[in-house]
Chain A
């Protein structure tokens, strides 16, 4: 798989007096993958996200995004055209008073012809299932809808990669589902690489790869099943494992072995069926 982003021995601190938030971080991201980054508050995950598209520059070490060094000022614009960002608060990232104007903001700034902008805005709104809201006022939308507008704004720039810093933290369960389904669709149908920073384990379960950060370093990295098999390690870092898996562990202690590290309710039921069939 193609490497799109490369952290090489990266350290970062917000000021000279303060302790480093990231310490000698080595981390790569790959094309077409849905990667989830987990970690408690202060683990350095948001800082890491902002280093990807040159919002921050490393104190030492290098970040290479799409072959370009983020520390070089002339790379800033090409990098940001490749990598779009979505932040936590839906109310802080909408600039226009009509949904379609907001999505058009990026392409307009690229100086594209009108027809091309029209085409991109329509496509982007359809991709996030918000096309029928194109003439609405953003402030009357729900949090999940606003976040999908923010994502459409990124897609309209035809970016290859989208980085989201806790985009669902302020949403209700329905809004969270809408955003995560949208991200999965972007990855599967449009081949967009997704890097999702989150606190929610049930979102991480849906990723191709999970990276767990603690104290500015990567401490676990693998598929969701691999990462969540380290239950006690995760708990020691203040993170939890998905409840179906926790239940499977508890049952195992009582001699009931549910196979296959179930991360979701459906997987648990499959494992349970297997167990009963083998016994029956």
Chain B
């Protein structure tokens, strides 16, 4: 059974006004336990609208969202259960920090779950350590931290609820290459260690290639492509047609093909490209 499944979801914004816009036009997708799924698509493709349905922030016009096989909109109880189990971390989560210390901010979620004080304490300390901050940070004000640190505190606030599905909307936006790599590593580690599902939105195809098991490409409120990184990235021309950036190495391969060099399948990593080019050259006696 999929941990989270979306059945024929339809949703429109500003209904009954001249600005009415269909944001989701019948989306169905299953998220399996333990997967890392990347959601890509240009602005306005419906990614964020879909995410907000996954923990019931938005209620679909029609269709349903099932958490562990049960509709999240069945009762108040199922919705509450879903909110605790599907942790959603918005874009620029650091803008949502609100409490006077890091400790209190991170403790907010578990406290709302009604956990005993000891358990809350343990979870706060664990999740702050998990995102790579030392215990010295616990009593600091989150507003005195650097941008990258704030983001990690905000993510710790979601991790402390130990959600079975962790959702991150553009977690690496605005970070420098080092901060970005640390965060991607954190996503991968979290998934490895807990076996929990992670869903994240990204515009950076190279980041996606690094951590995702599965890629979903959205376009105009529908799922345009779905598959493993390799299945999706090997269709470089189709991605470009959807207004997406293809990984830089993929564009090298597309241009090589246009220049008359057919190297077979389209590579997307430097290592894969190197192997493929060496093979091409040695077969042609050009090494």
Contacts and interface: CB of A to CB of B under 8 A. Distances in A.
Contact of B43 (A40, A174, A272, A280): A174
Contacts, number: 97
A40 B256 contact: no
Interface residues of B, number: 38
Contacts of B252: 243-244, 247, 265, 268-269
Contacts of B203: 172-173
Given A243-B270, A247-B270, 18 more contacts: A40-B176, A41-B176, A169-B173, A172-B203, A238-B176, A238-B177, A238-B178, A240-B177, A243-B247, A254-B274, A256-B278, A256-B287, A265-B248, A265-B255, A266-B255, A268-B255, A275-B286, A276-B261
A41 B147 contact: yes
A135 to B, nearest CB: 16
Interface in A181-225: 199, 202
Contacts of A74: none
A61 interface: no
Interface in A242-266: 242-244, 246-247, 250-251, 254-256, 265-266
A143 interface: yes
B176 to A, nearest CB: 4
A41 B247 contact: no
Contacts of A199: 175-177
Interface of A: 40-42, 88, 142-143, 166, 169-170, 172-175, 199, 202, 238-240, 242-244, 246-247, 250-251, 254-256, 265-266, 268-269, 272-273, 275-276, 279-280
Interface of B: 42-44, 146-148, 173-179, 203, 206, 243-245, 247-249, 251-252, 254-256, 259, 261, 270-271, 273-274, 277-278, 281, 284, 286-287
Most buried by A among B176, B245, B256: B176
Contacts of B255: 265-266, 268-269
Given A41-B176, A256-B287, A272-B256, A247 B274 contact: yes
Contacts of A142: 43-44
14 contacts: A41-B148, A174-B43, A199-B175, A247-B249, A247-B252, A247-B273, A251-B274, A251-B278, A256-B278, A265-B251, A268-B252, A269-B256, A272-B259, A276-B261
